[in-house]
Amino acid sequence: MHCVSTTNKQKMKKLLGFIRKEFYHILRDPRTLIVVFGIPVVQIMLFGYVITNEIKDVSIAVFDQSNDVRSHELINKIASSGYFIVEENVHSFNEINETFKRGKVKEVIVLEPNFGQKLERNQKSSIRLIADASDPNTANMIVNYTKGIVATYVNTINGNQQLPIQIETRGRMMYNPAMKGVYMFIPGIMTLILMLVSAMISSISLAREKEIGTMEILLSSPLNPAQIILGKLTPYFILSIINASLIISLGIFVFGVPVVGSLVLLMAECILFILVALSLGILISTVAKTQQVAMFMSQFALMLPTIILSGFVYPIENMPIPLQIISNILPAKWFIIILKDIMLKGAGFTFIWKETLVLVGMLLFFVLLSIKKFKIRLE
Amino acid sequence: MKTLFFIIQKEFLQVFRNKSMLPIIFVMPIVQLVVLVHAMTFEIRNIPMTVVDHDLSGYSQRLVHKFAATGFFIIKNATPSTQEANNDLMTNDAKIVLEIPAHFERDLIRNTKAQIQLRVNAIDGVAAGLSNAYANSIIADFNQNIALEWMKVAKLQGGTRITIDESYWYNPELNYKTYMVPGLLVLLVTIIGMLLSGINLVREKEIGTMEQLNVTPIKKYQLLIGKMLPFLCIALFVMTIGLNIGYFAFHIPFVGNLLLLYAMAIVYLVVALGFGLLVSTLVDTQQQAMFIAFFFMMIFIMMSGLFTSIESMPKWGQYLDRLNPVAYFVRIIRMILLKGSGFRDIQTEFWSLVVYGITVFTIAIARYHKRA
């Protein structure tokens, strides 16, 4: 018994020594630290403001063939909505094509001749909305918004005509009463940055040892593969936790995203997600022979799928079924759900245990596979 | 000229010799293009809905049916329990809850007034706003119908109307794929080009072959151009495959002039690859190069206007985006392919890229010292 415990102690000591060595490696180069902390901070500050799908100040043009009081009234209404800026006036249908080709104007509103007169006399007139649908997502939204404004304008002309029977609808915007764009995007931005930075730093670290030849020294040391991986992971794990706290604080204090649920639960889930990302990075580095390959796999293979399929920008439930299935293999998808649930909905663990379980499963899978793939010999 | 040719030959050899990189360079972008583009839509449909009908009367049932019949909402759950409905919102099983109170029909008939409640998951504010508006219009329509029936009123006359005729130019079917394929292709080509060029020089530094290059009689600009041309060819090759896929598989219209597109692509790639080389001259290790390349690439990509439109950004963001080469080319490729814009329409973008390219290259040549 005595003997076993000393060997365990020795093993522990070796591992600690190795971890310390790894720490020195990272801390020795302050540039790496600047990068590891600087990238997330700058990116979240930038993306938090810049990434939004709200429609505002869209450039439009007006083709007013009527030029009367009513037409001006309607155009003013549209211009003052905050959604649109009337960039120019066009004077013929031929001009519309030219305007669109220049690319700035996204919609042209065409008012028929005698718009006001028809409205007064026949109580009926028409307008035409021509959208530059080369961007169909935006075009669709812009046209809907314009229709909404026209409808309110018609209502004000009519006065509020009362129906004899009235169903009153009370709408409640849950979890985000002010419908702020940052609530939608901040959790996704956090996930994306945490995922990519963690996977990148850990995947490059082992590949680097292979490439510059120090791997041999590690392999001939009495540490086993699991210990080497553990020792490699620990410093990055600590850095990533600091990183996550930084990112979450920025989300809370700069962008005003609340944490309705438990902060402890939030941090625990963050730690789990960091472990998943780091172990994915390690897995990549066991496969990749050079840093170049490791980087391409950790960035190129992860970046776009994570942005596009995780539900960060595009809602998953709108995707075709095969893609909805594929999206399940992205750790980011599950973490975004968890973040939104805890931060915005105030969900407790009972609501997110499934997502958590998926992440735990992924973690185990990545770790076991990396230990298996980790080659003790160099080729 | 001959020296240049040899450098180019050497780079090509190095790329094609590296068997683990080949699939990453040539296969991965194409797979991503074909798969990912299907996901890139904001179009809202099939919104999962939970109905809490406390009334279970003829009217309330009709209202629920009306919701189900639109195709916009899908009724996933009907429950008498408000608690359960709120749970559905929590667990994402429902995005919207319609709650009809008890005595809905009675109130409507006796008091000519009744209330119902909509609760919307508003985390995605824009989608929530749209689905709320849509639900409201369904209710208003229902309201009008029963008013007509019950009160036996003739169709409400009077009231001014403005009919709206909408047309969607360049893409009447609102097919988002034709819009996304060119943009996504730009991102993929950029990532390959920038990552390859970003670590190229520094890799030679790190593995020690830079010294050999430095002692050869190669001029600085020759080396940089020789290192860039192979990547330019690779990027153009990948772009060509992508365009073919876009044309044959996604039926992108290709309205504009392809020669103009390729000319612009070359100008753009010179900027993108030059940027990568510049990064490479600034750092000592591949690791640093990757971090810096990653930093800028993420920003370029997120602000390229592909995912969220540039017009939605705050003004300062739009000004900042003028330093983003990817945003220029995403705009250019879409304008040429989808709208048939000519050189006059994209002049501003063209000259901006030219200035950008010259600046990047001048700095890169100045920063690259023929020392170890």
pLDDT digits (tens, 9 = 90+) for B17-69: 888 888 888 888 999 999 999 988 887 778 899 999 998 888 889 999 999 88
Within a 13 Å sphere around the CA of A224, how many CA atoms are in the beta-carbon half? 5
CB distance B24–A43 less than 8 Å?
no
Q: Is the pLDDT of residue B370 over 70?
A: no
CB distance B143–A163 less than 8 Å?
yes
CA pair distance A97, B255, nearest whole angstrom: 13
CA distance A126 to chain B (A): 5
pLDDT score for B152: 61
Pick the residue from chain A with its C-alpha nearest to B306.
A135
pLDDT score for B358: 92
CB distance A318–B43 less than 8 Å?
yes
Closest CA to A206 of A195, A214, A198: A214
CA pair distance B277, B365, nearest whole angstrom: 9
Where does the pLDDT of residue A377 fall: very low under 50, low under 70, confident under 90, or very high at 90 and above?
low
Please list, residue by residue across B309-333, b when 16 or more beta carbons sit within 10 angstroms of its beta carbon and e when fewer do: bbbbbeeebbeebeebbbbbbbbbb
Which residues are CB-neighbours of A59 under 8 A, at least 6 positions away? A84, A85, A87, A104, A105, A106, B311
Where does the pLDDT of residue B199 fall: very low under 50, low under 70, confident under 90, or very high at 90 and above?
confident
What are the structure tokens assigned to B215, written together? 């002692």
Which residues are CB-neighbours of A117 under 8 A, at least 6 positions away? A66, A68
Percent of chain B at pLDDT above 90? 35
Cα B212 from chain centroid (whole Å) = 43
pLDDT score for A160: 55
pLDDT score for B372: 45
pTM of the full structure:
0.86
Condensed to tens digits (0 to 9), the pLDDT of residues B104-157 reads 888 888 888 888 999 999 888 888 888 888 888 888 888 878 877 766 655 555
Note whether B36 contacts A: Cβ–Cβ < 8 A. Answer: yes
Q: Which residue has the tokens 């009907």?
A: B78
pLDDT score for A310: 92
Note whether B127 contacts A: Cβ–Cβ < 8 A. Answer: yes
CA pair distance B200, B193, nearest whole angstrom: 11
CB distance B341–A296 less than 8 Å?
no
What are the structure tokens assigned to A88, written together? 């120019």
Residue B102, classed as helix, strand or coil, is coil
Q: Is the pLDDT of residue B332 over 90?
A: yes
Pick the residue from chain B with its C-alpha nearest to A101.
B341
CA distance B47 to chain A (A): 8
Q: Is the pLDDT of residue A1 over 50?
A: no
Q: Is the pLDDT of residue A150 over 80?
A: yes
CB distance A304–B44 less than 8 Å?
no
pLDDT score for A70: 87
Closest CA to A150 of A66, A61, A86, A74: A74
Task: Average the pLDDT over A116-128 and give the result.
Answer: 85
Condensed to tens digits (0 to 9), the pLDDT of residues A327-342 reads 999 999 999 999 999 9
Condensed to tens digits (0 to 9), the pLDDT of residues B317-329 reads 999 999 999 999 9
- Give chain A's length: 379
- Give the Å distances, CA to CA, from B92 to A111, B122, B126, B146: 43, 12, 17, 33
Mean pLDDT of chain A: 85
- Give the Å distances, CA to CA, from B107 to A168, A249, A253, B114: 12, 50, 47, 5
CA pair distance B32, B40, nearest whole angstrom: 12
What are the structure tokens assigned to B288, written together? 């640093």
Q: How many beta-carbon pairs under 8 angstroms link A with B?
A: 361
* Lateral strand order in the sheet of B113-121: A166-174, B113-121, B96-100, B47-53, B73-78
Which of B123, B129, B150 has the CB atom closest to A340's CB atom? B123
In this predicted model, which residue has the larger pLDDT, B146 or B363?
B363
Query: Which residue blocks in chain B are alpha helix, DSSP H?
Result: 2-17, 21-26, 28-36, 58-69, 82-90, 104-111, 125-151, 176-207, 210-215, 220-248, 258-282, 286-302, 315-320, 325-334, 347-367
What are the structure tokens assigned to B348, written together? 């501003």
Residues of A in contact with B333 (CB under 8 A): none
At B49, which helix (H) or strand (E)?
strand B47-53
Note whether B156 contacts A: Cβ–Cβ < 8 A. Answer: yes
Q: What angle do CA A58, A60, A64 make, to 5 degrees?
A: 155
Note whether B241 contacts A: Cβ–Cβ < 8 A. Answer: no
Residue B107 burial (C-beta neighbours within 10 Å; 0-12, 13-18, 19+): middle
Residue A203 burial (C-beta neighbours within 10 Å; 0-12, 13-18, 19+): buried
Residue B352 burial (C-beta neighbours within 10 Å; 0-12, 13-18, 19+): middle
Contact (CB, 8 A) for B241 and B192: no
In this predicted model, which residue has the larger pLDDT, A100 or A181?
A100
CA pair distance A243, A267, nearest whole angstrom: 12
pLDDT score for B153: 54
Number of Cβ within a 10 Å radius of residue B137? 12
> Which of 312-351 (B) contact A at CB < 8 A?
312-314, 317, 331, 334-335, 338-342, 345-346
Note whether B206 contacts A: Cβ–Cβ < 8 A. Answer: yes
pLDDT score for B303: 92
Residues of B in contact with A309 (CB under 8 A): 36, 39
- Give the Å distances, CA to CA, from A346 to A38, A141, A264, B319: 30, 31, 12, 37
CA pair distance A226, A231, nearest whole angstrom: 8
What ipTM was predicted for this assembly? 0.86
Where does the pLDDT of residue A159 fall: very low under 50, low under 70, confident under 90, or very high at 90 and above?
low
Amino acid at B352: S
Which residues are CB-neighbours of A29 under 8 A, at least 6 positions away? none
Beta bridge partners of A109: A62, A129
Within a 13 Å sphere around the CA of A86, how many CA atoms are in the beta-carbon half? 17
Residues of A in contact with B319 (CB under 8 A): none
What are the structure tokens assigned to B287, written together? 């690791």
Residue B76, classed as helix, strand or coil, is strand
Residue B113, classed as helix, strand or coil, is strand
CB distance B150–A165 less than 8 Å?
yes
Contact (CB, 8 A) for A273 and A359: yes
Task: Average the pLDDT over A81-90 and give the result.
Answer: 89
What sign for the dihedral angle of Cα B36, B37, B42, B43? Answer: negative
